[in-house]
C-alpha cells in the first residue's frame, strides 16, 4: 500500500509540476468570483445566500459540467503523454506491476477531479459569503452535497471513459475528443425505453433530487447507479486488460 | 525446440534461452540464446531490422516473448518479472525524461518506485556521471549528452547487476560518444556491472565490448570475442593481406603475379596500389623480388580485417546501416 501511495504521489507530481496545472484552478476561481458579482449586480434577488450560490455553481447544470471537461482534458493526456515522451519505457521497468502503475494514474486523475470540485465549492462559498451572506434554510448543506456529489460522479464517469480511450488509442486528441463529445451528447435524451440502458441519461444523478423526474420513465436512482457502475467497470476493465498486455514498441 | 533451462542459468548474470518473437507469421526474433557473464561487456550487433531493439525490449519485459525465456540472476523474466527486473537497469533508445521537471525530480520519481534507493544513492550516481551542477535544472534545458548521462544515472539508481542499453550513442557527437564509452567502461570496472549494449556502430563495439553477439533477421549469426583474430594474425603460416604502393604498377603486377602463393586481390590504378594476399613469412621475399626488378616501393601496409569486414561477411554485405 505504501508503494502504491508513492506511485500516486509520482503521478500527482507529474501533473502538478507542469506550468499549466494551475490554469483550471484559476479559471474556476475567476468564473466563480465574477459570476457571483455579476449575479448580485444584475439579478440581485436570484441568489439568496452563499449556500444557494455554492449549490448552484457546483451542480452539473452550473459549473460542474465544466469541471468534468477540465478533468477530461487532464485525464486524456495521462497515458498518451507517457507514450509520446517515451517515458513509459522507464516507468514500466522499475519492478512495479503495470496494473499498479495504471491504477495509480487513475487514482491521481480522481484526486484531480475531486480537488477541482472542492476548490469550486470553497471559492463559490467564499465569494457567496462576501456578497450574499451566510443565512440559510434547513437542508442548505444537503443541497451543496447533492450538487457537488453528483458533479463528482459525473466527472468520474467521463474521466473513466476518457481514461480508457487514452489507454486504447495512446492519443491525447482522440481521448479528449471522445470525452468531450460524450459530455456534449449527455444533454440529448432519446425518449425511448432502450435508451435508459445507455450511459448518457444516467450520468447526472442530481435529477433524482427534490423529487425530480428522471429523463426516461422507469429509471430510478439505484438503477442509474447500477448502470454507471457497470459502465465504469467496463471502461476500467478494458483499460487494464489492454495496458497489461500491450507491447511497448 | 524447447531449450532446457538447466543450462547453468545461475552462472551467467543474463541468459537468453531460445527467445523468439513472432508478430503474425513473421519471426522478428528467432530462437536467440546467449549469456552475459559477471562484469562482461557484450555487444549485440546487427544491421537495422535484425531484431536488436526487440530483443532488448523483451529482456526488459516491455515486449512479451512468444517462446523461450530470459533469466536475470536466475530469475525468469516471464514468470518472476519483479524479481528479475530488480537486477536490470536499462536505457532503451534515447533516455526520455519529464522535460518540465528538474533532473533531481526525475530521479526522485524512480526512487519512489523502489524503496531501497536512498538519497545517498542518488547523490552517488549523480556524482558518478558528473551531473552535480545540473540537478536543479529542468531536463528540457539539458543537452543530449547530459540526458544520456542522466539516463545512465537512472539506470544505475537501483543497483542493478546488468545494464542493457539500446543504441546508447545514437545522435551523440564524437566527443559524446567517447564520453559515453568511458562512462560505460568505468561502470563495468568499478561497479562490477555486466553490460549488454546493442548497436550497429561497429567501431564503437570494437572499442567497448569484450565479446559481440551478431544477429541477423532475428537469428544468431555468431558470437565472437574481440581481439581474438588479431592475436593469431601474425603467425607465420597465415595468409595476410598486404597493400603495396609502388612506382611502376604494371611491372610490379608482373613480378608479384609470378610469385608462388601470392594472389593479387585488387589493383588501384590511380593510387598505384596493389592489394596482395600472401603468407606472412613471404613478405621479405616479395620486397626483394620487387627490389631486384628495380621497382620503387613507397609503402607496405598490412590490412587487418576489421570487425567491419567480418561483420559484412557475417551478415552478407550491403545490409549495413
Domain covering B239-308, topology: Alpha-Beta Plaits (3.30.70)
Q: Where are the domains of chain A?
A: 2-245
Could you report the per-residue pLDDT of B166-178, keeping only the tens digit for each? 988 877 888 888 8
> pLDDT tens digit string along B200-233?
878 788 888 889 999 988 899 888 887 655 444 4
Q: Do B110 and A17 touch (CB under 8 A)?
A: no
- Would the CB atoms of A7 and B63 count as touching at under 8 Å? no
Q: Considering only CA atoms, which of B44, B19, B52 is closest in space to residue B222?
A: B44
**Among A9, A85, A247, beta carbon nearest to B64:** A247
Residue B287 has which C-alpha cell? Answer: 620486397
Cα dihedral B129, B132, B136, B137 sign: negative
pLDDT digits (tens, 9 = 90+) for A19-57: 889 999 999 999 999 999 998 888 767 777 888 889 889
3-state secondary structure of B114: coil
Low-confidence residues in chain B, pLDDT < 50? 1-9, 230-234, 319-321
Fold of B12-225: Rossmann fold (3.40.50)
CB pairs under 8 A between A and B: 77
- Do B12-225 and B239-308 come out as alike in CATH topology? no
Q: If you write DSSP's letter for every residue of chain A in order, what string do you get?
A: -HHHHHHHHHHHHHHHTSGGGHHHHHHHHHHHHHHHHHHHHH-TTT--SHHHHHHHHHSIIIIIHHHHHHHHHHHHHHHHHHHHHTTHHHHTTSS--HHHHHHHHHHHHHHHHHHHHHHHHHHHHHHHHHHH-S---TTHHHHHHHHHHHHHHHHHHHHHHHHHHHHHH--HHHHHHHHHHHHHHTT----SGGGGGSSGGGS-GGGGGGGPPPSSTT--HHHHHHHHHHHHHHHHHHHHHHHHH----
Tell whether pTM > 0.80: yes
Q: Is A86 on the interface with B (CB under 8 A)?
A: yes
Partner B contacted by A7 (CB < 8 A) = yes
Domains of chain B by residue range: 12-225, 239-308
Contact A87 B113 (CB under 8 A): no
In what order do the strands lie in the sheet containing B26-36? B26-36, B14-23, B67-72, B75-76
ipTM summary value: 0.88
Amino acid at each position: 500500500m505504501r508503494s502504491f501511495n508513492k506511485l500516486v504521489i509520482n503521478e500527482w507530481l507529474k501533473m502538478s509540476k507542469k506550468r499549466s496545472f494551475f490554469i483550471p484552478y484559476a479559471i474556476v476561481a475567476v468564473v466563480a468570483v465574477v459570476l457571483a458579482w455579476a449575479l448580485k449586480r444584475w439579478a440581485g434577488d436570484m441568489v439568496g445566500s452563499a449556500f444557494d450560490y455554492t449549490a448552484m455553481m457546483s451542480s452539473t447544470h452550473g459549473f460542474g459540467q465544466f469541471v468534468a471537461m477540465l478533468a477530461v482534458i487532464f485525464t486524456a493526456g495521462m497515458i498518451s503523454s507517457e507514450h509520446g515522451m517515451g517515458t513509459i519505457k522507464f516507468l514500466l521497468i522499475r519492478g512495479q506491476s503495470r496494473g499498479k502503475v495504471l491504477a495509480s494514474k487513475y487514482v491521481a486523475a480522481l484526486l484531480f477531479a475531486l480537488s477541482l470540485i472542492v476548490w469550486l465549492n470553497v471559492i463559490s462559498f467564499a465569494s457567496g459569503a462576501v456578497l450574499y451572506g451566510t443565512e440559510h434554510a434547513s437542508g442548505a448543506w444537503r443541497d451543496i452535497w447533492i450538487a457537488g456529489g453528483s458533479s463528482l460522479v459525473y466527472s468520474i464517469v467521463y474521466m473513466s471513459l476518457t481514461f480508457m480511450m487514452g489507454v486504447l488509442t495512446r492519443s491525447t486528441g482522440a481521448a479528449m475528443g471522445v470525452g468531450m463529445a460524450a459530455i456534449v451528447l449527455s444533454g440529448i435524451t432519446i425518449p425511448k425505453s432502450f435508451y435508459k440502458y445507455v450511459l448518457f441519461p444516467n450520468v447526472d444523478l442530481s435529477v433524482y433530487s427534490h423529487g425530480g423526474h428522471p429523463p426516461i420513465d422507469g429509471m430510478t436512482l439505484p438503477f442509474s447507479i447500477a448502470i454507471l457502475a457497470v459502465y465504469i467497470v467496463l471502461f476500467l476493465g478494458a483499460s487494464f486488460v489492454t495496458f497489461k498486455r500491450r507491447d511497448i514498441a | 525446440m524447447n531449450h532446457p533451462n538447466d543450462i547453468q542459468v545461475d552462472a551467467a548474470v543474463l541468459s537468453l534461452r531460445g527467445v523468439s518473437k513472432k508478430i503474425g507469421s513473421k519471426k522478428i526474433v528467432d530462437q536467440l540464446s546467449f549469456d552475459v557473464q559477471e562484469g562482461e561487456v557484450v555487444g549485440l550487433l546487427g544491421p537495422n531490422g535484425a531484431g536488436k531493439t526487440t530483443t532488448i525490449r523483451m529482456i526488459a519485459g516491455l515486449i512479451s516473448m512468444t517462446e523461450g525465456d530470459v533469466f536475470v540472476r536466475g530469475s525468469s523474466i516471464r514468470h518472476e518479472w519483479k524479481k528479475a527486473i530488480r537486477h536490470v537497469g536499462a536505457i532503451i533508445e534515447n533516455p526520455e525524461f519529464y522535460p518540465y521537471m528538474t533532473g533531481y525530480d526525475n530521479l526522485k520519481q524512480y526512487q519512489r518506485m523502489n524503496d531501497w534507493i536512498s538519497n545517498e544513492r542518488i547523490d552517488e550516481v549523480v556524482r558518478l556521471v558528473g551531473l552535480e551542477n545540473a540537478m536543479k535544472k529542468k531536463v528540457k534545458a539539458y543537452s543530449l549528452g547530459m540526458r544520456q548521462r542522466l539516463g545512465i544515472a537512472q539506470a544505475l539508481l537501483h543497483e542493478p547487476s546488468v545494464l542493457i542499453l539500446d543504441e546508447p550513442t545514437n545522435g551523440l557527437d564524437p566527443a559524446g560518444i567517447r564520453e559515453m564509452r568511458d562512462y560505460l567502461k568505468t561502470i563495468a570496472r568499478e561497479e562490477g556491472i555486466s553490460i549488454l549494449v546493442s548497436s550497429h556502430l561497429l567501431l564503437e563495439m570494437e572499442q567497448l565490448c569484450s565479446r559481440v553477439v551478431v544477429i541477423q533477421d532475428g537469428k544468431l549469426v555468431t558470437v565472437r570475442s574481440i581481439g581474438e583474430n588479431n592475436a593469431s594474425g601474425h603467425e607465420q603460416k597465415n595468409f595476410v593481406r598486404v597493400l603495396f604502393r609502388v612506382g611502376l604498377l604494371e611491372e610490379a603486377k608482373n613480378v608479384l603475379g609470378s610469385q608462388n602463393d601470392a594472389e593479387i586481390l585488387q589493383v588501384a590504378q590511380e593510387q598505384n596500389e596493389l592489394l596482395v594476399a600472401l603468407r606472412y613469412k613471404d613478405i621479405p621475399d616479395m620486397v626483394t623480388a620487387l627490389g631486384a626488378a628495380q621497382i620503387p616501393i613507397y609503402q607496405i601496409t598490412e590490412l587487418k580485417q576489421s570487425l567491419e569486414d567480418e561483420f559484412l561477411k557475417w551478415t552478407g554485405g550491403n545490409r549495413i546501416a
